[in-house]
Every structure is written in structure tokens, then in C-alpha cells.
Structure 1
Amino acid sequence: MAKTVIYKFGGASVKDADSVRNLAEILRNRLRKNLIIVVSAMGKTTNSLESILALKLEGKDYYENSAILKDYHLRLCRELFPRDHAIFPKLENLFVQLENDLEKVLTPQNYDEFYDRIVSFGELVSTRIVAEFLCLQGLIVLWQDAREVIYTNSDFRFAKIDWTKTRKSCQEKWKPLLENFPILTQGFIGSDPRGRTTTLGREGSDFTAAILATCLDAGSVTIWKDVPGVLNADPKLFLNTKKFDELSYREAAEMTYFGASVIHPKTIKPLANASIPLFVKSFLDPEATGTIIHELAVPHQVPTIVLKKDQVLVSFKVTDFTFIEEKHIHRVYEQLQKLKLRVNMLQLSAISISIVIDTQLFKLDELIAMLRDEFEIRYNEGLELLTILHQRVEEIPPMLEGYEALLEQASRNTFQAVRRKI
């Protein structure tokens, strides 16, 4: 039997009616049995749902935003379907469900669980629309709920996979279906032991593709993007970018660790462990070669630039005139782990620990509250973290022109700076 193949389409590939039509054309000559199509929320739907949650949390009127989001999906469907198509009552039911969920009580204490229940709605809607449109085009796919096979713990917003249970469910529930039909499902979402919706972290649909590939012993994963492949910098931010024709798993993992947005950070490890190749291709030019990430690639020395925005620099200074010791570092990391905060950069001095983290609602206040009795804490928000892999010394100063560097550090292969616009 042919090995399963996984395709993942992100939000930009289904952002409007023309994009959905383009997706159908990509699949027209590629659709077959043993194919799983993972689809993200449409366009900026996840951002819109996060904005709705922020308004609700502040006690403000979010109904207008909700109505705009509903209208966006309905307008898209009116361009794709006849007026009497079954997609319209299905959408109506989904939006009623969203409105009912939004009426429930939201507090800082239940925010993460509430977030997962609401934000997962984007994937559920998009996959319904895409599945119905493909079937309308004569491209038959089975819509399946990812939450019925991807099992996680209850770490809402950053759920960890129960690999044993997930593999068993994929093999038992989906493998028999794949022998006859391709499956279309959601990225980003799973379910905890109590059946509650969980999410795998922002942009987690890539990780979903890797999970399914690993659990179904797939032959390959292809991520369809709006770029020609993996580039050495974001073309929206930097000029003269270069495409990698191939990368090793290790190089790709290093890039995602430092924040390269082309692939979700957790995607590489399971694929590397199972020796499953990952292709990154353009949905704007589907016949182009793209980039292959696999075991055989020759290491590169091309400078690679990664820029993470919305960063916070937090410094913890000891107050009893002692020097920083291992116990101080352990104490800070203990609280970071409780809050599910990842450190993007760490620097130690004789009397302080400085970390760089992503901006996350509530998290900074909670971290300060946990540690204010032990440290003098200062922080700066609205920063950028610049990382250059395989840096060349002469290329660094131009990257800092017009910026104040609050923190810098360099190793043989990596340069990092926390910067803000002057």
C-alpha cells in the first residue's frame, strides 16, 4: 500500500475565494487515497478571534467584531457556492455555537481554556468551507475532526501530545479511511483527557502535519506557503533573500528555535526522528521545486536572519548583595515553566539575570508577582529580537543602524541583539 502523504495549507492559502479556488487546482491532479490535507483558519481569523477575546476580557462590546468575522466568511462562501448550498446553514450553526460560547464567563484564571475553545473555531469553519468546495468541484474528501485523533494533556494554548494514544487512534480510526478516501482536517487543535478542546501553540498547524505524519508512518509532509521555499530571511522585512534548495533537519530546527516563522518550532523533531522528508513549497507556484528538509543535506554557511517582534526584556537583580548562583536561575526558570513562558534569549551578569520572552497577555504581571519578593525586577516592552546565524562581522552594524541595542551577545555561529527603534 502507498505511504500516506500530508499536505498542510496555511491561512494565506485560503484567505479569500480565489485562494480557495487555487487550493482546489493544486489538489486537482494530486488528490488521491492516503492523502491528508491539513487546513488552517482563513486569513487573519485567528487574530480576529484573539481581538474578540481581548474585548470581552475588558468588558467591552465585541459583537461588532464578531459580526464582521461572520460576514467575512459568508461573503467568501457567496463567491464559491450557489445560494441554496448546504454550507450556509452549517456556517450559521457554527456561528451560533461561537456566540453561545462567547456568552460564558471569561476571567484571567480561565483565559487559556476559554482561548482554546474560541480560537479553534477558525479551523473548524475553514475546513468545512474547503471540504464542501472541493466536493462541489468533484474532488471528494472526507472531513474529519482532528480532536478525535490528536490527544493532548490539559496545558491549554501549549498542549503536549499524548503520542501513544494519538498514534493508536490515527492507526485505528483514520488509516482504514485513507485506504479509500483522502481526509481533510484541522491544524492546531486537539483534545484533552476530558474531551475539552486544546491548541498546540500559535501557528501550530505545521506541528499537526508532523504529528499525523509520524503516527501514520507517512512518506512525506508538504507545507504550502506564500514564499518559494525556506529563505534565509523574511522577504517582507529584508531585501535580497536567498532560497535554500535543501536543508538538514538540524539547520531547520535551529532556524525555528530562534523564531523563523516559515515552520512551527515543534515540527522538525518528530519528522527527523522518523526520517520523514519535509517539503516547503509555494501555493503561488506549485510546480516550482521549493525546499526539501531531510537528513542528507550538506550544511550551509549562508547568513540567516530571524527577527522576532513584540518581545519583552526582563531583568532580575538580586537584592542581598550576593552574586547570581544556580539557585537563582532555577527559581526564575521554575516560574517561567509554570507560566509556560519560553526564553528566547538569556544573559547573566554578576548580580542579575536577563531574559527575553514573547509578549503574552497576563503573563508578565504574573511572573513579576511570583518573583518580586526575591528580586528587583525591571522590564522593557515593545522590543525586537534580532538573530543572525552564521553571521559575518561586517553585516552586523547595518542591522543596528537607527536602533538602540539593549542587549547583545555572540557566539561562533550566532549573533543576537535586543533592539528598539531610536
Structure 2
Amino acid sequence: MIRKIYKFGGASVKDADAVRNLAQIVAQHKDEDILLVVSAMGKTTNMLEKVLANFREHDGNLGMEALHEVITYHDGIINGLFGEDANPEFGENIAGLFIELWEKLQKTEDPYDYQYDQTVCYGELISTSIIHEYLSKCEIPTRWLDARKYVIAEDEAHFRAANPDWDETRLRISKLNDEHIRGIVCLTQGFIGGTADGKHSVTLGA
């Protein structure tokens, strides 16, 4: 069973040095069956809110400029962590996440709260993907968990302020096979969850 939970906010993973510090902390406790809950890097959530606002105001040029800032920011962290040694498959994974994000940004006909949740969640998904790759590079056995499959909203109508369905959430978590998570670090996202049907992302209320 997981005995300790470590939460790292955006400032704790804001750059390559911060991620290295996280890895050093994790290395000291990796035999304790810990769960890492990690936020989007730095001010990424605010940056994505700006991107979304520009797209919804039908200013594609400003939207793309703002999105490019997000991509450049994360590329800088990746380069700082891996240099020219980044795994090509990892690079493809990150590129794929940004492509998915761009596709979600096109759907400006969707209600704002709904589109917000479908786009802003990528801050956490990208952050934890980068950290997962770096922990693997540091030879720290880590399993990446998609919080949207485990933290289930009780009412999918409340986008941007979802509350967990605790019964369903506990059930989903209980199905994690202890044999598959014992002795390794589990890494997941803060702030986000999903609907029971697995079709939609949600951000969690206060």
C-alpha cells in the first residue's frame, strides 16, 4: 500500500533545477511506496488560460503566439534535463500532447467552463510526463497514473468546480494491483479528474 503522499506545486517544478531537486527528494524515499502528486509547471495554468482566452476571442494569431510561449517554456525545461539525449519516443509523446491541446483549443463553440477543463488539464499531463521521463532517467522506478481515470467527478455538469465522487474514486483506486505498484513510485496529477465514462476531463473545485 502507498504510505506517503508528496505534493509538488507549480513553483516546485518550475524549471530544470526544480525537477532535479524533486528527483533528489524522491530518491531518498523511493523505497517507501510513495505517491507523487504534481501540478503544472510554474505559471503554466495561467499561461493556458491566456491561450484559451485568445482562441475564444477568435484571435488565432495571438492564440498561437501564447501557445508557442507554453511550448517554448516546456522545451527549455526538457533541454535543461535531457540535452541532446532525450528519448525520441518521449519527444513524440510530448509533441502528441501539444497537438491534442491545440485540437481542443479549436472547439470554441463549446461552453467556456467545459472547454477550460478540456484544455487546462494539459498543464498537469505535460508536467507529469516530463517528470516521469526524468525519474526514469535517474533509474527511479516510476508508474505514471492518469488522475482522470481514478479521481471521478460526482456530477459532470460542474466543470471547473467538480467534486469527487468519493465512492467511485475509492473503488477505482482500490483496483490498482498492489503487485504493480509495490516498491515503485506512483506519479499522478493534482487539480484534475475525469467523468465516469472516461470521455471528459474536469478540474476540481476548492
User: Structure 1 length normalisation: TM-score?
Assistant: 0.45
Structure 1 gaps, min length 5:
202-265, 267-422
Aligned identity (percent) is 40
| 1:207-222 to 2 correspondences below 5 Å | none
- 1:20 alignment partner AA: V
Distance change in 2, residues 1:32/1:91 (3 Å): same
Identify which of 86, 91, 94 aligns with 1:91: 94
CA distance in 1, matches of 2:177, 2:59: 43
1:33 to partner: Cα distance: 4.6
After TM superposition, the structure 1 = structure 2 runs for residues 10-409 of structure 1, keeping only pairs within 5 Å, are 10-61=9-60, 62-83=63-84, 84-85=86-87, 86-106=89-109, 110-152=111-153, 153-154=155-156, 155-173=158-176, 175-195=178-198, 196-201=200-205
2-structure distance, mates of 1:183, 1:25: 16
SS in 2 for 1:36: strand
- Root mean square deviation, CA, Å: 1.6
More strand by share: 1
Q: 1:102 to 1:3 in 2, by over 3 A?
A: closer
1:324-375 CA-to-partner distances (Å, cap 9, x unmatched) read xxxxxxxxxxxxxxxxxxxxxxxxxxxxxxxxxxxxxxxxxxxxxxxxxxxx
Does the 8 Å CA contact 1:9/1:38 hold for their aligned counterparts? yes
Q: Which has the higher helix share?
A: 2
Q: Structure 2 unaligned runs (5+)?
A: none
Rounded Cα–Cα distance in structure 2 between residues aligned with 1:78 and 1:181: 26
Residue-by-residue CA offset, 1:102-132 (whole Å, 9 max, x unaligned): 112335xx11110000000000000000010
Pairs aligned (count) = 199
Greater relative CO, 1 or 2 (CA 8 Å, sep 6+):
2
Query: Greater CA radius of gyration, 1 or 2?
Result: 1
Letter in 2 for 1:78: N
Q: 2:140 touches 2:185 (CA, 8 Å); kept in 1?
A: no
Counterpart-to-counterpart distance in 1, 2:197 and 2:180: 25
Letter in 1 for 2:13: V
Kindly indicate whether the alpha-carbon contact (under 8 Å) linking 1:11 and 1:43 is maintained by their aligned counterparts in 2: yes
Give SS of 1:184's match: strand
TM-score with structure 2 length normalisation? 0.91
Distance of 2:2 and 2:53 partners within structure 1? 43
Cα distance between partner residues in 1 of 2:95 and 2:59 = 24
Q: Deviations over 1:201-238 (max 9, x none)?
A: 3xxxxxxxxxxxxxxxxxxxxxxxxxxxxxxxxxxxxx
Q: Secondary structure of the residue that 2:176 maps to in structure 1? A: helix
Matched residue type, 1:199: T
